[in-house]
Structure 1
Amino acid sequence: MPDDALYSLDALGPRGAYRARNRENVTDTSGTPVAELSLVPALFVTRALAALRGAAPLPLDERLAALARAARIFREDTVEGLTYVRYERTVAAVSGIPLAAVRSAAEEITDAAHRAMAGSFAALGRGAVLDWRDPRTRTGSAVWTRRGEVLAVNAAGNHPAPHALWLEALALGFRVAIRPSRREPFTPHRLVSALRSAGFGTDQVVLLPTDHAVAGEMLSGADLALAYGGDDVVREYAEDPDVLVQGPGRAKILVTASADWRAHLDTLVDSVADHGGIKCVNATAILVEGDPAPLAHALAERLAALPSLPAEDEKAVLPVRPLESAQALDAHLRQRARGTTAHLGGDGIVDRLPRGGAVLRPAVFEVPDLRGGWHTTELPFPCVWVAPWSRADGAAALTHSLVVGLLTGADPSAQDEALIDALVTDPAIANVYVGDRPTHWMDRQVPHDGYLGDFLMRNKTVLRG
């Protein structure tokens, strides 16, 4: 494919690739068209879901072997005309995600495919078995079984890494339909193509690019759904037990008075800025027991040194957006930051690139108190709100967080242990990291926002004579 040719991102339906009449240009951050994305109508989606529902899953050992083959194909082969090197640079150019972050996400997807059993079966209870034929069912046993047969995924566009998660559903025998983000459709297109080349049939996994209205029909037409999005998506599906919403993370760090934050400054900066500050596990607020100003100043000094580069540059560490989008984010930030003290970003966060698009520069704001709610604001670049915290504020100030990091003294006091108890028992806090760990730390064998298997599967008793 010539470098200046538009890449065709066809739908991948139950009968193979499908080039729709309705197609949309996918542009890079400078506005240059890079690809044509086929958008399928509702009838195509309905028929694809029916084909998935009518198919039987591959046997477990075949599924795991095919996932491992797909990992190699995704990471090493030319897939649908794109080498891996061309793929990662295209994703960076289109999404504005720094190249190093794209590469790290691809490695995460590859690892997830290789270790699908570790992730998907981590939720399996000790008292359950995988098959009713297991000898333990003769005296009565829980059997871990699917809650449905078809999972629909309304995919994220802010980062490729979430595509690692739905691979667990394939490992569990679900047939999967993915609606790619129109901002970054290259990763799911490559991944579905690799899975099909590795042995998953066209009736096992499909790629269904659609507009927003049809996406809703896709989610409601599947047995279960995984939906990524902002607060609007969270509100829309909050009461639906068959939709698992992956919304904003609002990760936070609390630095108690007994902790020397200077010894943890590298971790604090890393938590805010790793992967360009784009991921839901990046810290967006740091609460300080005491005066927050010195910490805010030190953060600003470190973050100000990060370079402004095109996302495709090997040394890029900050996200890039089309200029209009960057300016809109800047205006929103200025409005939201009223009443705070700017240590970085007060004069704007937009840094234009010579060839088009703009880097989103970091921002550090010191807030006067927690009552204004500044510390709950999450934006798609390294933006952190540094706030004062007191013991009277307690764990309630950190609730509704995907991750809470806690930095205390080397020997936690009884007060600190009570605080940890409160954080761990808060149902609106998904993860608690005590000590010098960045908020983006993850491992496939421990839950990220609960185990996906908790949502996809259920236990039922089987007793046979």
Structure 2
Amino acid sequence: MPGSPAPLHLDALGPSGPYRAQAREVVHDVTGRPVAELSMVPRLYVQRGLAALRRAETLPPDERVPALAEAGRLFATATLNGMTAGQYEHAVARVSGLPITMVRESTAGIAAGLAGAYGFAGQARPRGSRDTSNGAGTAVWIRRGDVLAVLAAGNHPGIHAQWAEALALGYRVAVRPSRREPLSAHRLVTALHEAGFGTDRVVLLPTDHGVADDLVGGADLAVVYGGDDVVDKYRSSTAVLPHGPGRAKILITADTDFTRHLDTIVDSVSREAGAACVNATAVFVEGDPAPVAEALADRLAGLPALPPEDDRAVLPVRGLDAARNLEKFVHSEAAGARAWLGGDTIVAELGDGAAALRPAVFQLDRADAPQARLEMPFPCVWVAPWSRADGLAPLRDTIVLTALTSDRDLVGRLLDEPTVRNLHVGDHPTHVLVPGLPHDGYLGEFLMRSKTFTDAAPAAP
């Protein structure tokens, strides 16, 4: 395109510094315009990077805690790799299609997450390992390994704040960025290097899927993001923590007037552009679901379709062809459901080769309908009937459940249900998670373990 700036070079960030590979992948914005070239490293480079991480010394706690805070400050304010924070946020909005206000919020969230990473990570520490009053013996909290691999997702920049907790705990980390949105991971690793984490303590290794398996296998532990296929692949592994679809849900029981909670329901579906794993994708109603679906559709229909860099944007944007393909998929899956919104189209063309994804509301005829498990990257919600006879089965396998109910016995059963990973009762949207509380469990539960240490060595003569 005449007058377009040259694509940004996103080099691999290895133990010897930036590395521009011969193999590169073009990163496009939502209109198809090239924005960056991502260096793709071969298997040998990954192996050498992991070997360097293994040889490196862990930064002492009194150095890594302020270094993490400084990295967060740099990430949010500094010019890194030739990009100001504002230019980075604009580029992420254009590449990911996420509203720029959401990207700005994630920038601030990452900075806060890094500043508090050591304290947040320590929340998982068992009380027994904090207590040194047991005479000669005590419990100590130790790492399960030294090197962590992270196969990052590209659906939301905020996910990068989580793996920083591993650095706080003393791990050396290898990050494979999303090829769809690698800008955030690249900026964060650059900030960490600038802040004092050596290039042999955290590396950025963009790879294809085949080499990614070597990265996971070559590390002591790994955190991997993906779909159900990823979860199934690593389900039985004790060395891999898979993060799959969230399938956040809302339950409205018969003792609740949903109209008093409509703001919470709408916010749960549409905030974060409906693209986060904690956005509600299914609403279960004890009784007739039609009034809830109708009210949701009425509220969501008014959301504007705008380019992602517009400060008023609230919906995600995709390339027009990708948006059309997604629409075909949704309509195919929704066969037999009642469309309250989005039944004609979810595509709002923006006139530049991109399209905003408009909300969709579908009503199902039973609680166990398979569509209730379908999570889409835009505000798409399935409203289904639920009865006590259905039990907890339709509510299982969810990262967050907001229960609008006064039934404390039901709340107790939901709290005991292990596949409901977070439970909100009352007006607390599914997407709102308190810093320091677990998102999908504490990362420290996976990274660390406790062991007894008894020091009864005889005194020197």
Same fold (TM over 0.5): yes
Q: Corresponding residue for 1:43? A: 44
Q: Corresponding residue for 2:260? A: 263
Q: Secondary structure at the match of 1:402?
A: coil
Distance 1:8 1:127 in 2: 48
Query: Alignment RMSD, CA only?
Result: 1.2
Offset of residue 426 of structure 1: 1.2
Q: Corresponding residue for 2:91? A: 90
Distance 1:390 1:406 in 2: 14
- The answer as to whether partners of 2:284 and 2:367 remain within 8 angstroms in 1 is no
- Residue 408 of structure 2 is aligned with which of 417, 423, 437? 417
Q: Are 2:399 and 1:402 aligned? A: yes
Q: Corresponding residue for 1:446? A: 437
Cα deviation 1:122-170 (Å, max 9, x = unaligned): 00111104xxxx9658611110000000000000011111001001000
2:241 partner letter: L
1:44 partner letter: Y
Distance 1:287 1:371 in 2: 10
Distance 2:256 2:207 in 1: 50
Q: Are 2:430 and 1:433 aligned? A: no
Note closer, same or farther for the CA distance 1:63–1:369 as it changes in structure 2 (3 Å cut).
same
Q: Corresponding residue for 1:464? A: 455
1:314 partner letter: D
Note closer, same or farther for the CA distance 1:187–1:137 as it changes in structure 2 (3 Å cut).
farther
Q: Corresponding residue for 1:25? A: 26
Offset of residue 303 of structure 1: 0.6
Cα deviation 1:322-359 (Å, max 9, x = unaligned): 11211111111011101110000000211111111111
Q: Are 2:231 and 1:234 aligned? A: yes
Q: Corresponding residue for 1:250? A: 247
Distance 1:373 1:444 in 2: 33
Q: Corresponding residue for 1:105? A: 106
Number of equivalences: 454
5 Å-filtered alignment, 1:34-183, equals 34-129=35-130, 139-183=136-180
Distance 1:293 1:102 in 2: 34
Distance 2:446 2:368 in 1: 35
- The answer as to whether partners of 1:106 and 1:161 remain within 8 angstroms in 2 is yes
Distance 1:392 1:135 in 2: 50
When normalised by structure 2's length, the TM-score is 0.97
- Residue 374 of structure 2 is aligned with which of 372, 377, 401? 377
- The answer as to whether partners of 1:395 and 1:419 remain within 8 angstroms in 2 is no
- The answer as to whether partners of 2:30 and 2:317 remain within 8 angstroms in 1 is yes
1:403 partner letter: V
Distance 1:107 1:86 in 2: 15
- The answer as to whether partners of 2:99 and 2:314 remain within 8 angstroms in 1 is yes
Offset of residue 3 of structure 1: 6.2
Distance 2:314 2:438 in 1: 27
Q: Corresponding residue for 2:459? A: none
- Residue 293 of structure 1 is aligned with which of 287, 290, 294? 290
1:459 partner letter: S
Q: Are 2:296 and 1:305 aligned? A: no
1:45 partner letter: V
User: Does 16-25 or 96-105 show the bigger shift?
Assistant: 96-105
- The answer as to whether partners of 1:137 and 1:464 remain within 8 angstroms in 2 is no
Note closer, same or farther for the CA distance 1:223–1:137 as it changes in structure 2 (3 Å cut).
farther
Cα deviation 1:271-328 (Å, max 9, x = unaligned): 0000100000000000011111111111101111000001111111000111121111
When normalised by structure 1's length, the TM-score is 0.96
- The answer as to whether partners of 1:118 and 1:444 remain within 8 angstroms in 2 is no
Offset of residue 371 of structure 1: 3.1
Q: Are 2:345 and 1:345 aligned? A: no
2:218 partner letter: G
Unaligned runs of 5+ in 2: 457-461
1:424 partner letter: L
Q: Secondary structure at the match of 1:166?
A: helix
Q: Secondary structure at the match of 1:265?
A: helix
1:280 partner letter: C
Q: Corresponding residue for 1:214? A: 211
Unaligned runs of 5+ in 1: none
Cα deviation 1:164-195 (Å, max 9, x = unaligned): 10010000000000000011000010000001
- The answer as to whether partners of 1:137 and 1:463 remain within 8 angstroms in 2 is no
